[in-house]
Amino acid sequence: MQQNVKGFSKLSKEEKINWITSTYFSNQKEAKDILINYWNSDENLQKLHDEFIENTLTNFYLPYGVSPNFVINGKNYTIPMAIEESSVVAAASKAAKFWGERGGFKTTIINTEKIGQVHFLFQGNFEKLTTFFNKIKPSFFDDTQEITKNMQKRGGGILDIELKNKTNEIENYYQLHATFNTKDSMGANFINTCLEQFAKTLENQARNFEGFSEEEREIQIIMSILSNYVPNCVVRAEVSCPIEQLSEDKTIDANEFAQKFATAVRIAEIEPYRAVTHNKGIMNGIDAVVLATGNDFRAVEAGVHAYASKSGQYSSLSHVKIENGIFTFWLDVPLALGTVGGLTSLHPLVKFSMELLGKPSAEELMQIVAAAGLAQNFAALRSLTTTGIQQGHMKMHLMNILNQHQATKEEKQQVLAFFKDTIISHSLVVDYLEQIRK
């Protein structure tokens, strides 16, 4: 049985690789070669990547593509996307072109407020705690002046701090619930630093508050941390056109398509099993741009899915209305994004993405990302309600199947020609490939 390794983090990268490959792999050379083949030939660039995280062995690549022809608030964009799933970039591009010819995407920032909380236990009277909080509230702002002065110069900072009573859920549990504007930074480090100072101020002031008993003066801080649920940091993306413009060709009746499309969205609004997959399609577009711009897709995902459940039932993020012959499709989504700080100033491809997008502000990036999510959702629903999702998806996936089975150039040409107008499945492709090889 394999023993735990001691001092692994202190080993050099080469020593880590030697231990990993000798411990877990039967062919040590082959395993080493795989890792080394993904190193960057530029030593300085590789060193930069090595220092992003701990215990780095190599780089894990995702395809980086672009989706052109996005028109957002009258401005043209080519949007970068980092994603491994077939057909996402193609679908977003097709939807962007479709809506670009019909006025493009209209986007609006609804709010940009972010949230952080200090969670603590207080064994005492809530009215006394409220009196104490109101008295010391200015101290929270005073004690964080050094932390917030640069953010304030950029127009951001601490917006407000509230005391929240959560003792109905957990005995003696309270929160300092703070709101922030972090301008063009995602703001996680800024918010967390402020919160930790709030906690110190809370503890110190409580020890000297004459209105508390000895027991009440010992406030117990549990933790101080930002929230990735940002229901007041929301952007809307919308498209609309006369119903008759929904048909690109005579194979689809525009009115029938509009009604089927609207029903599909309505199903996602009321049926959680469908809503999860519906919203996953939206996140295909959102995550791909979030990744390409060096933002935290895990935080975005967590916040978005919480937002989709805000009514008490998980539901669709997008909605449709058909009024007076006009089809309108829109999406409201919470997005806490940054265009300064973090990887945005370090990762060369992130910097490339930002320049490709015209060096957007955080608010502009929110709008771009929301438009990508809406485009992806429209493309998926259009396929589902017309030809079916597999026709386009499996054609894009076909090359992955062929590469998986190490098809030659000639074999790929034969297979692609055979399945041009034929239903595609993994097993059918493999069977045909085996026939060719016989």
Residue indicated by tokens 């919308």: 238
Tens digit of pLDDT for each residue in 109-166? 999 999 999 999 999 999 999 999 999 999 999 999 999 999 999 999 999 999 999 9
Give residue 282's identity as a one-letter amino acid code.
I
CA distance to 65, 276, 418, per residue, from 428 (Å): 29, 29, 11
Confidence of residue 390 (pLDDT cuts 50, 70, 90): low
What is the mean predicted confidence (pLDDT) over 354-368? 97
Q: Where are the domains of the chain?
A: 8-50, 64-111+231-387, 114-227, 393-437
Confidence of residue 173 (pLDDT cuts 50, 70, 90): very high
Q: What CATH number is given for 114-227 in this structure?
A: 3.30.70.420
Distance between CA atoms of 16 and 13, rounded to whole angstroms?
5
Distance between CA atoms of 391 and 398, rounded to whole angstroms?
11
Max intra-chain CA distance, the chain: 90
What is the mean predicted confidence (pLDDT) over 303-332? 98
Does the pLDDT of residue 391 top 70, yes or no? no
CA distance to 85, 96, 178, 228, per residue, from 371 (Å): 19, 9, 29, 21
Residue 85: active-site member: yes
* pLDDT at res. 405: 82
In this structure, are residues 62 and 38 in contact, taking their beta carbons and an 8 Å threshold?
no
What is the mean predicted confidence (pLDDT) over 388-398? 59
Residue 319: active-site member: no
Residue 393: active-site member: yes
What is the mean predicted confidence (pLDDT) over 285-314? 97
Residue indicated by tokens 């995280």: 53
Q: What CATH number is given for 64-111+231-387 in this structure?
A: 3.90.770.10
Tens digit of pLDDT for each residue in 334-360? 999 999 988 888 899 999 999 999 999
Q: Of the listed 106, 119, 347, 393, which one is catalytic?
A: 393
Residue 280: active-site member: yes
Residue by residue, DSSP assigns 339-365 as SBSGGGGT-HHHHHHHHHTTS--HHHH
238 contacts: CB under 8 Å, gap ≥ 6: 105, 106, 107, 108, 328, 329, 330, 331, 374
Q: What is the dihedral of CA 342, 343, 345, 346, to 10 degrees?
A: 130
- Three-class DSSP category at 43: helix
What is the mean predicted confidence (pLDDT) over 389-412? 71
Q: Of the listed 13, 49, 50, 85, which one is catalytic?
A: 85
CA distance to 173, 204, 215, 358, per residue, from 125 (Å): 12, 19, 11, 54
Q: Of the listed 184, 196, 296, 364, which one is catalytic?
A: 296
Distance between CA atoms of 168 and 345, rounded to whole angstroms?
45
